[in-house]
Amino acid sequence: MVLGKVVGTVWATRKDEQLVGMKLQIVQEVTLDYALKDRFVVAVDSVGAGVGEIVLLAQGSSARQTELTRNKPVDAVICAIVDKLDLVITKDEAPATAA
């Protein structure tokens, strides 16, 4: 799964009928320090994540394995809200924690 931050919402009136009623969140990928990367995806929210929260994204066919998204044209789903990361090994091999 990919680590991201919810930064906004997409409004779309005309859409595939299977997407009606789904919340479409804009999730920007983040580093292990929660710094925003350039990459973003639009994801269906299955866990009630709010803007500003750090989340996990499941992508591809795995994004269709929630009750909300099964058999729907959805390729990214928010499947968890992150409380914290326990980072034991960093790039310089020194212990570190990102909360």
Kindly list the distances between the CA atom of residue 95 and the CA atoms of 33, 54, 76, 90, in Å, as whole numbers in the listed order.
14, 22, 32, 6
* Shortest distance, position 63 Cβ to a second copy, whole Å: 7
Number of residues located near a second copy, criterion CB under 8 A: 61
Written as six digits, the tokens of 11 are 């409004």
* Shortest distance, position 68 Cβ to a second copy, whole Å: 9
Pick from 49, 56, 77: nearest CA to 65? 77
Q: Could you give the CA distance from residue 28 to residue 3 in angstroms, rounded to a whole number?
A: 9
Residue 94 contacts a second copy per CB under 8 A: no
Q: Could you give the CA distance from residue 49 to residue 59 in angstroms, rounded to a whole number?
A: 17
Site string for a second copy, 17-36 (x = CB under 8 A): -xx----x-x-x---x---x
Residue 52 contacts a second copy per CB under 8 A: yes
Residue 79 contacts a second copy per CB under 8 A: yes
Give SS3 for 60: helix
Which stretches of the chain bind a second copy, using CB under 8 A?
A: 1-3, 5-16, 18-19, 24, 26, 28, 32, 36, 40-43, 46-48, 51-52, 56, 58-66, 71-77, 79-91
